Structure 1
Amino acid sequence: MHRIAESELIINPDGSIYHLNLLPEDLATTIIIVGDPDRVKMVSAYFDTIEIKKTKREFVTHTGTLRGKRITVLSTGIGTDNIDIVFNELDALVNVDFASRTVKKELTTLDIVRIGTSGSIQENVPTDSFVISEYAIGFDSLLHFYECDHVLETEFSEAFMKQTHWSPKKSEPYVVKGSQELIDKLSSEQTMLGFTGTNVGFYGPQSRKIRLNVQDEDLNEKLATFTHQDKKITNLEMETAGIYGLANLLGHRSLSMNAIIANRPLGEFSKAPKQTVDQLIQYTLEKLV
C-alpha cells in the first residue's frame, strides 16, 4: 500500500493532525462546522455532555453527546482556503491509519453540516429566514486544483458564464450539489431550498464598495437574475461550494444551513442576528438527533 510521506500528511508529536490538533478518537462521525470560533460554544451549550475541548489557531473543537448521539462541532474560520485544510484533515482522521500512513481499506463516511450566516440577493428571501443550500456555485478556484469533473454540475456553470458574460480574468465558476439525504433530513416548513453563491471575499467579490471600485458594477444584479432549470441564486457566503466539492470528492455527506441576516436588494440587516443563528443551531440539532 502507498505510504503517505511526512511532508504530505503532517502529524504532531502527540499523534494529532497538524492544523486541527485532533486525534482520530476525538472526532464524531456527525460534525457541525461553523465559521466563527465563538459560535462553537453556542452549539455545544446544548450538548448533554462535552468530552473534548481543543483549540489551535482559528480551529476550535468541542465533541460531546446530545440525547446519546455523539457530535463534534468545529470552527473553520472564513473562506474556502480554510475549508481545504479542514476537510482534508477531517477525512484523514477517519480514513488514514496514522501508524502506517496508509489509506484504510474500509472508509468512513462523515455527515458534515455547516451552520453559517449569509446574505440574500433575492427580495423574497427575507432576513431571519433559514436557507438550505441545494446547490452551491463557487467563484473561488479551490476545486480546480483537484480532479473534480465527475462531481460538477457543468450545465449550471456554463449557463452562468454565458448569461453573466463572466470575465475570463476571474476563476471559472463551479457548481456542486449538497447531499440529498441530508436535504431530506433537515428540510421542513421552516426552511427554504436555495442556490448559494460562494464568494472569494466579502467586499469587492460581493459588490460592496467602501473606497475601491469593483470590476463589474452589475455583478449582484447578474447573480440575482441568473436562472437555469428554474433555479436562481438565492444567497451569498464564503464556504459552501468548497464544502460540497470536497465532501463529494472524499465520499462524505455535507449540507449548508444558512441563517439569512441581510437582504442585499432591500438594504436590510437583521435586528437580532445572534438570535437568528441560535434558532438555526437549535433547529439543526433537533433534526440531527
Structure 2
Amino acid sequence: MDKSVFSDSELILNSDGSIYHLNLKPEQLAHTIITVGDPERVPEVSKYFDTIKHKIAKREFHTHTGTYKGKEISVISTGIGTDNIDIVFNELDALVNIDFESREVKDQLTTLDIIRIGTTGAVQPKIAVDSFLLSQRGIGFDSLLHWYDNDIEDKKFAAALVKELQLSDDMATPYIVQCNKELSKHFQTIEMLNGTTITNVGFYGPQSRRLRLAPSNKELKQLITNFSYDGHQITNLEMETSGIYAMAALLGHRAVSLNAVLANRATGAFSKQPNETVDKLIQFTLDRIATI
C-alpha cells in the first residue's frame, strides 16, 4: 500500500480542512452516495430525506447529507461530463481513504456505494420514453480511463466498436467498464431495463445531433443503433456513466448508473413529463437503497 505523504499541491485542502472542490469534511459524507448531474436536482432528492444534517455547496458541487428510512445518504451534484467525475470520485475517495492530518493513505480502506440518477436518450426504437434503464456496462468515448494505469478494459469489445462505428484516429479510443454486479442486484426489478450505455464527450456533435454544425461522422447514430457485439446492443447515450464505472473500479468502490429515458433518438420522441419521470426514479432509487 502507498504510504507516501501527499504534498499540498496533490491533496489540496481548504483553510477549514475540507477537500478542495467538494468543500466537504470526512464527517460530512455518508458511505452511500447518490450522484446527480444538475445541482438543482440535489434538493429534489433530499426533500424525501427524513433528516438533513449537512448542506454544502461550492461551484457546481452541491451536497446534502441526511437519512432516509434510517439509512445515511449523501446526494452530490457532479455537473455534466466525465472531467467532473474525475474530480468528484478522487475527492470522495480521499474523504474516506486518506488521513487529512497525516496526509497518508489509511491502513483500512472504505468502500463506498455510489448510485447515479441521471437522464438519457435511447437509441433502440423498442425502448420506451419514460422507462428506466440500468447500465450494465459503460462505453467511454471520453478517454478518462486511459489517463490511469489500469487492467480493467475490455479491449476486444473496444476494437470491435472502433471498426464497426468507423471511428477515426482523431477520436478517443473507447473503453468499456461494467457496473458493480453485487450493487446492481438491488436495483434490478421488473421496472428496470438493462443496457449498454455510451458516454459521450458532448451533447450535440458527439451524439450526432445537428443544429448549425454538422457532425464529422454523419452515420454514427445509425451505426450505434445497428452495432452488436457478443449479443450486446448499445441501448442509450449519456455523459457520465463510463467515468463513474471506471473511477469506482479503479478506486475499489461499488457503482451503478440508473437512467431515466427522456428521449428516443431512433423515433425522435421526447418525454412529455420529464420531471415526473425523474421524480419517480428518485423515489424508486431511495426505496431500493433503504434495503441495502
**TM-score tier after normalising by the smaller chain length:** over 0.9
> 2:225 maps to which residue?
224
- 1:249-260 to 2 correspondences below 5 Å: 249-260=250-261
Say which SS state the counterpart of residue 112 (structure 1) adopts. Answer: strand
- 1:1-16 to 2 correspondences below 5 Å: 1-16=3-18
Distance in 1, Cα, partners of 2:205 & 2:166: 18
- Which one-letter code corresponds to 1:287 in the other structure? R
> 1:198 maps to which residue?
199
> 1:171 maps to which residue?
172
> 1:22 maps to which residue?
24
Say which SS state the counterpart of residue 259 (structure 1) adopts. Answer: strand
Say which SS state the counterpart of residue 75 (structure 2) adopts. Answer: strand
1:214 Cα shift? 1.1
- Which one-letter code corresponds to 2:234 in the other structure? I
* Deviations 1:34-64, CA, capped at 9 Å, x for gaps: 0000000010011000000000000000000
> 1:85 maps to which residue?
87
Q: Given the two structures, how large is their TM-score scaled by the length of structure 1? A: 0.99
Say which SS state the counterpart of residue 116 (structure 2) adopts. Answer: strand
1:158 Cα shift? 1.3
Q: Given the two structures, how large is their TM-score scaled by the length of structure 2? A: 0.98
- Which one-letter code corresponds to 2:137 in the other structure? Y
- 1:38-53 to 2 correspondences below 5 Å: 38-53=40-55
* Deviations 1:134-187, CA, capped at 9 Å, x for gaps: 001000111111012x11122211111122222111000000000101211111
Distance in 2, Cα, partners of 1:232 & 1:155: 15
- 1:137-156 to 2 correspondences below 5 Å: 137-148=139-150, 150-156=151-157
Identity %: 56
- Which one-letter code corresponds to 1:272 in the other structure? Q
* Deviations 1:1-39, CA, capped at 9 Å, x for gaps: 310010011000100000000000000000000000000
Say which SS state the counterpart of residue 167 (structure 1) adopts. Answer: coil
Say which SS state the counterpart of residue 211 (structure 2) adopts. Answer: coil
> 1:97 maps to which residue?
99
1:67 Cα shift? 1.2
> 1:288 maps to which residue?
289
Alpha-carbon RMSD across the aligned residues, in angstroms, is 0.6
- Which one-letter code corresponds to 1:180 in the other structure? K
List, as ranges, runs of 4+ consecutive aligned residues in structure 1 with deviation greater than 4 Å.
none
Say which SS state the counterpart of residue 136 (structure 1) adopts. Answer: strand
User: Structure 1 unaligned runs (5+)?
Assistant: none
- Which one-letter code corresponds to 1:195 in the other structure? T
User: Structure 2 unaligned runs (5+)?
Assistant: none
> 1:122 maps to which residue?
124
Distance in 1, Cα, partners of 2:270 & 2:205: 19
Say which SS state the counterpart of residue 14 (structure 1) adopts. Answer: coil
- Which one-letter code corresponds to 1:3 in the other structure? V
> 2:138 maps to which residue?
136
Say which SS state the counterpart of residue 133 (structure 1) adopts. Answer: strand
Distance in 2, Cα, partners of 1:282 & 1:124: 25
1:107 Cα shift? 0.3
CA contact (8 A) 1:153 1:177 kept: no
Distance in 2, Cα, partners of 1:37 & 1:102: 31
1:84 Cα shift? 0.4
CA contact (8 A) 1:179 1:254 kept: yes
Say which SS state the counterpart of residue 24 (structure 2) adopts. Answer: coil
Distance in 2, Cα, partners of 1:125 & 1:45: 30
Distance in 1, Cα, partners of 2:183 & 2:160: 27
Q: Decide which moves more: 56-65 or 159-168.
A: 159-168
Say which SS state the counterpart of residue 19 (structure 2) adopts. Answer: coil
1:235 Cα shift? 0.4
Distance in 2, Cα, partners of 1:156 & 1:141: 15
The count of corresponding residues between Structure 1 and Structure 2 is: 288
Distance in 2, Cα, partners of 1:9 & 1:187: 37
* Deviations 1:75-95, CA, capped at 9 Å, x for gaps: 000000000000000000000
